[in-house]
């Protein structure tokens, strides 16, 4: 059954399944190295995959606030700066509000800056990040749209983390440590949106995206991120769709 709710006020609008979605990210002031932005030189192949699967790329932002988050459906962290990557209290509040409205957060960790990643995810029970620093090949451990057809993925240094019972473990690092989790309604996550956490950001850079099944994994993530309920701020009103 479907119901529609209309409003003439400035509000958030939920888009139906498989609609194009806008990907947000930080600009260079919040990313650890030149070219490391989603829109930078190291992620051109990932951007191509996103755009080929219904996504658009927003102008990167130096600050996470309600205005910026209201214009995007997905936020991708990349490798955060060791000095400026952590979220302020105001940014954490804005991010939590956006996720409660249906936003999709994709966190790609690494061996640093681990405290910065905690400012994104500790509110949701993903914490205790630790540097593992392996280079290797991991494998899916659960059936999910993100892991469909993926047999292995290659990474270059990674972190470990702990998480709660409302997350589903999707893959390991091939050495006995958890590598990739998803939090969404089907896993018992009740915060409103979705969160995907991976232990390495290098695997989706141009240097690694062609290794093992990394391209397929990136494609699955792009499709998953642009499915379900997207959040978009509009000036003409809102349409809320439920099934």
Count of structural domains within the chain: 1
C-alpha 125/C-alpha 34 separation (Å) is: 31
Q: What pLDDT score was predicted for residue 239?
A: 27
* DSSP symbols for 162-203: E--TTSEEEEE-SSSSEEEEEESGGGT--SSSEEEEES-SGG
Q: What pLDDT score was predicted for residue 228?
A: 63
Q: Average pLDDT for residues 60-69, to the nearest whole number?
A: 98
Domain range spanning residue 193?
3-242
Split at pLDDT 50, 70, 90, the class of 4 is very low
How far is Cα of residue 158 from the mean position of the Cα atoms in its chain?
Answer: 16
- pLDDT of 201-230, one tens digit each? 999 999 999 999 999 999 999 999 999 644
C-alpha 81/C-alpha 20 separation (Å) is: 29
Q: What percent of the chain has pLDDT over 90?
A: 85
- pLDDT of 102-139, one tens digit each? 999 999 999 999 999 999 999 999 999 999 999 999 99
Q: What's 66's domain CATH number?
A: 3.40.50.880
C-alpha 196/C-alpha 49 separation (Å) is: 17
Residue 107 CA: distances (Å) to CA of 25, 159, 179, 206? 11, 12, 12, 18
- Is a pLDDT exceeding 80 seen at residue 96? yes
Q: What percent of the chain has pLDDT over 70?
A: 86
* Cβ-based neighbours of 28, under 8 Å, separated by 6 or more: 34, 37, 40, 60
- Is a pLDDT exceeding 70 seen at residue 26? yes
């Amino acid at each position: 059954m479907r119901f529609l709710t209309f409003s003439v006020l400035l509000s958030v609008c939920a888009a139906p399944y498989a609609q194009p979605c806008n990907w947000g990210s930080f600009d260079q002031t919040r990313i650890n190295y030149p070219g490391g932005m989603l829109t930078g030189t190291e992620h051109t192949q990932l951007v191509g995959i996103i755009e080929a699967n219904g996504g658009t790329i927003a102008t990167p932002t130096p600050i996470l606030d309600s205005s910026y988050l209201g214009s995007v459906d997905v936020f991708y962290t990349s490798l955060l700066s060791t000095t400026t990557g952590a979220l302020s209290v105001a940014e954490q509040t804005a991010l939590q509000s956006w996720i409660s409205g249906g936003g999709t957060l994709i966190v790609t960790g690494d061996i640093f800056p681990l405290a910065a990643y905690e400012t994104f995810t500790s509110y949701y029970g993903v914490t205790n990040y630790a540097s593992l620093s392996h280079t290797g090949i991991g494998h899916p451990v659960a059936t999910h749209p993100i892991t469909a057809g993926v047999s292995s993925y290659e990474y270059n240094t990674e972190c470990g983390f702990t998480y709660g019972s409302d997350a589903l473990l999707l893959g390991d690092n091939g050495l006995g440590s958890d590598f990739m989790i998803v939090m969404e309604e089907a896993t018992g996550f009740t915060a409103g949106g979705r969160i995907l956490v991976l232990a390495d950001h290098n695997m989706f850079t141009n240097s690694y995206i062609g290794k093992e099944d990394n391209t397929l994994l990136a494609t699955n993530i792009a499709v998953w991120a642009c499915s379900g309920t997207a959040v978009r701020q509009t000036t003409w009103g809102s349409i809320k769709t439920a099934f």
